[in-house]
Amino acid sequence: MWGGRFAAGPAEVMERINASIGFDKRLYAQDIAGSKAHCAMLVHQRIISQEDGAAILAGLDAILSEIEAGQFEFKASLEDIHMNVEARLAELIGEPAGRLHTARSRNDQVATDVRLWTRAAVDSLENSLRDLQAALIGQAEAEADTVMPGYTHLQAAQPVTFGHHMLAYVEMLGRDRGRLQDCRRRMNESPLGAAALAGTSFDIDRQATASALDFDRPMANSMDAVSDRDYVLEFLSAGAIIAMHLSRLSEEIVLWCSAGFRFVELSDAFTTGSSIMPQKRNPDAAELIRGKAGRVIGALNSLLVVMKGLPMTYGKDMQEDKEPLFDAADTLQLCVTAMTGMVADMKANRGALKAATAHGFLTATDLADWLVRVLDMPFRRAHHVTGSIVKLAEERGCGLSDLSLADMREIEPGITEDVFSVLTVENAVASRTSAGGTAPERVREAAAAAKERFL
């Protein structure tokens, strides 16, 4: 491969550690697109002839077809996708193939390929996140009136609606999409033409290759162009946050499917049975999404560690960017798709959700607010009075609305019959009409707004 300088081939283990073709063959379409843009530019700039350019372009198209038809033989002895394509090009068209690499290096070539690949991965992940948002919004609309306990510290806190809970995730995923769009904007510059690291003495047109590949502009500094992997790290960072969000939702689904909750039901399509316990219906997809977050977060870590000690510019260490990138992108795509299926499949168990609101004195805050509003009590005092009433209910083993007016008056003589109007969970939920609040009317508005903003 290296012509003049090398007399002997590499040791077997050298070939094994060096070769990336086993995984970077996934870059074939980007590699060929980059080569075609480069070739067309070389012709336009009269750096290579029309005839050679035409032969190269036809050859590259033939290789693309061979690869897509599964008829291409990838060789580890040719190290990577770049050399595999170029070697095949030489077999197909002979001498002109050797002119393609004029004013280019594998360093700007691989940087271009990986950018193109990552950009496509960002776009498809963002699309899938939109589908997941649509499924969540669908649940929010269907369950805008469904009351359930809202939690802090996983302690029942105040009643909310299931729809409101779903829309919280829609917001999280909206920020995730924003992070992807943001990293896409920054990554969309072309490294091509940086050559090995210093640029080239040929009169190339970097703007032309950048436009041909739908980049916004050429990267400004040739050394940065070949040594930068920030765009992969940004994608993995955004991906790690996405994986974390999916994992939190998975954890809730796992809890909600358990006997202590029974808040939702998943159909046979998204559960599995147990080989020994016939009664079981396990939320495996949710557990796997929760588990796979580890891989995505690990991918970010592994590339950060690869990059942290590298001097300028390219180092072969950077070949280690691809496996974590590919694995994280595949994992995220799979997890988002599975989550979308699960969310659409999930059936809120309205009875169990409502029943759960009977425990935990969820309307205690409403009682305190009533004391403030009707008796003009300072909130701190109302909090104290309510605490005493809760304590009494706890001792009696009943809910707040099960206490008699006389019981409550013993603690606070100013309390009137009217207090019972705020002690039901439906009223508590309906009263939280502040912007971004859980009142069903707000939830319906928020779902409609989310459709406008996100779908």
Shorter beta-carbon distance to ligand ARG: residue 261 or 326: 326
- Per-residue DSSP letter, 272: B
419, 408 in Cβ contact below 8 A? yes
Shorter beta-carbon distance to ligand ARG: residue 28 or 314: 314
Smallest separation (angstroms) from ligand ARG to the CB of 147: 55
Q: Taking contact as CB under 6 A, which single stretch among the options 64-72, 162-170, 185-193, 310-318 is the one that binds ligand ARG?
A: 310-318
CA 158/CA 292 separation, integer angstroms: 32
Smallest separation (angstroms) from ligand ARG to the CB of 213: 18
Count of CB atoms situated within 10 Å of the CB of 89: 22
Q: Taking contact as CB under 6 A, which single stretch among the options 102-110, 127-135, 327-335, 400-408 is the one that binds ligand ARG?
A: 102-110
Shorter beta-carbon distance to ligand ARG: residue 105 or 128: 105
CA 134/CA 454 separation, integer angstroms: 8
Shorter beta-carbon distance to ligand ARG: residue 270 or 314: 314
Smallest separation (angstroms) from ligand ARG to the CB of 315: 9
Site for ligand ARG (CB under 6 A): which residue of 318, 367, 419, 425? 318
Shorter beta-carbon distance to ligand ARG: residue 35 or 319: 319
Judged by DSSP in three states, 237 sits in helix
Per the residue annotation, which of 153, 201, 275, 434 is the catalytic one? 153
Helices (H), ranges, 262-402 = 284-307, 322-345, 350-356, 364-375, 379-396
Task: Work out whether 110 is an interface residue with ligand ARG (CB under 6 A).
Answer: yes
- Residue 345 CB contacts under 8 Å (≥ 6 apart), including other chains: 266, 267, 269, 270
Shorter beta-carbon distance to ligand ARG: residue 57 or 318: 318
Task: Tell whether omega for the bond before 313 is within 30 degrees of 0, i.e. cis.
Answer: yes
* Tally: H helices and E strands in the chain: 18, 6
Task: Work out whether 229 is an interface residue with ligand ARG (CB under 6 A).
Answer: no
User: For residue 206, what are the β-bridge partners?
Assistant: none
190, 215 in Cβ contact below 8 A? yes
Per the residue annotation, which of 65, 124, 274, 421 is the catalytic one? 274
Task: Work out whether 161 is an interface residue with ligand ARG (CB under 6 A).
Answer: no
Task: Work out whether 20 is an interface residue with ligand ARG (CB under 6 A).
Answer: yes
Annotated active-site residue 211? The verdict is: no
| Integer angstrom CA distances of residue 62 from 82, 113, 127, 137, 210 | 15, 19, 31, 46, 24
Annotated active-site residue 38? The verdict is: no
Task: Work out whether 303 is an interface residue with ligand ARG (CB under 6 A).
Answer: no
The residues in 66-85 that bind ligand ARG, with binding defined as CB under 6 A, are 80
Task: Work out whether 86 is an interface residue with ligand ARG (CB under 6 A).
Answer: no
CA 262/CA 108 separation, integer angstroms: 55
- Give the tokens for residue 148: 């359930």
CA 51/CA 29 separation, integer angstroms: 23
Task: Work out whether 319 is an interface residue with ligand ARG (CB under 6 A).
Answer: yes
By the criterion CB under 6 A, which residues form the site for ligand ARG? 20, 24, 80, 106-107, 110, 314, 316, 318-319
Active site residues: 153, 274
